[in-house]
Amino acid sequence: MSGDPYNPDYDYVAYLDEAGETGLKNVLGVDSHGSSEWFVLSLVLVPKSEEPNLAQWVSEMLAATRSRQLRDLHFKNLPDHAKRAVTANLAGRPVRGFVVCANKKNMRRYHNPRAAVMGVNDWFYCWITRIALERASHFVWRRSMQKHHEPRRLKVIFSERGGLKVGQIGAYYQWIKPQSLNGTLYIPWGDIEWDCVHPLLLDKDFHRNLHGLKLADILASAFFAACDNKQSGPCEPTYASLLKPIMANYPHTSAGRYSGYGVKLLPTWSKAQLTIDQQKVFRGYGYPLQLWQEGRHWALPPPPWERVGDRPA
């Protein structure tokens, strides 16, 4: 890795986008009016060596839709046949996908006083990005140790959204880092691989400017369509299921598990109280069993602090 502290090198780029809203005051599924029941954050991990190919990938995805009117990729605006075409196309690319699907019913009107002390405007968004980064940084750490026998870094690019301040996200990560290293994290269910994350490798940009963010939009919107039955119509798990070839599992073998790793449901399976149609996509990715992280090791059993009643079936 580069020894220049002001210009750190990286081996991967993580593009993050979201579908749904982070608001917790009123939540659909509990209230008749309010923000989305689901907030889905996606992370598409692209090897640095593949960055020059992203424009061509997007061009080929547009061609696959067979629509001459399309000039840009916004998944939610595509007709069904085009959604199937772009997800199938993305599924064949050398990338890894991670999603955090947060059902917010149990978070309604929750306030986080610890984040308020930090002055973080959207602590919920910061927390969800942390969960995605725990998994992506572990993937990078494991791959780089296997290939290079040392940890390599990932550059993190957030899709621009109203009020997004990368400095606040970086400050949030720096706030939890000492807790992580000391084993005193308030929420101890996972951890970021800090050797793979650098504060100077956090950035943001607009969807229209970076092709990698278009890939993250496809991933987030595909899983939102699979989860949501309040705003986007009946749940449609087809698109998310088509993306299985790129979704991260652990270990990365045919027997590896997606649930809890590449596909993370919040809260736990029993607490989420999902409808039958909402369950389909998660069952397709291995729930109700899921992986739990203990340091750098992932295992099937839930951690000991989980109550018996919350254990996966």
Residue 301 lies in a domain: yes
- Evaluate if residue 181 carries a pLDDT over 90: no
Q: Residue 150's pLDDT is what?
A: 96
Q: Residue 112's pLDDT is what?
A: 63
The residue segments making up the domain with residue 245 are 12-310
Q: Residue 91's pLDDT is what?
A: 98
Residue 303 lies in a domain: yes
Q: Residue 299's pLDDT is what?
A: 83
Stretch among 68-77, 89-98, 248-257 having the lowest mean pLDDT: 68-77
Question: Which of 5-14, 92-101, 165-174 has the highest average model confidence (pLDDT)?
Answer: 92-101
pLDDT band for position 110 (cuts 50, 70, 90):
low
| Per-residue pLDDT tens over the stretch 276-285 | 999 999 999 9
pLDDT band for position 120 (cuts 50, 70, 90):
low
Phi/psi of residue 50, each to 5°? -95, -5
- pLDDT higher at 268 or 189: 268
Residue 188 lies in a domain: yes
| Per-residue pLDDT tens over the stretch 197-245 | 999 999 999 988 999 999 999 999 999 999 999 887 799 999 999 999 9
Residue 225 lies in a domain: yes
Give the count of domains, the chain: 1
* pTM of this structure: 0.92
pLDDT band for position 116 (cuts 50, 70, 90):
low
Residue 3 lies in a domain: no
Residue 263 lies in a domain: yes
Residue 57 lies in a domain: yes
Residue 7 lies in a domain: no
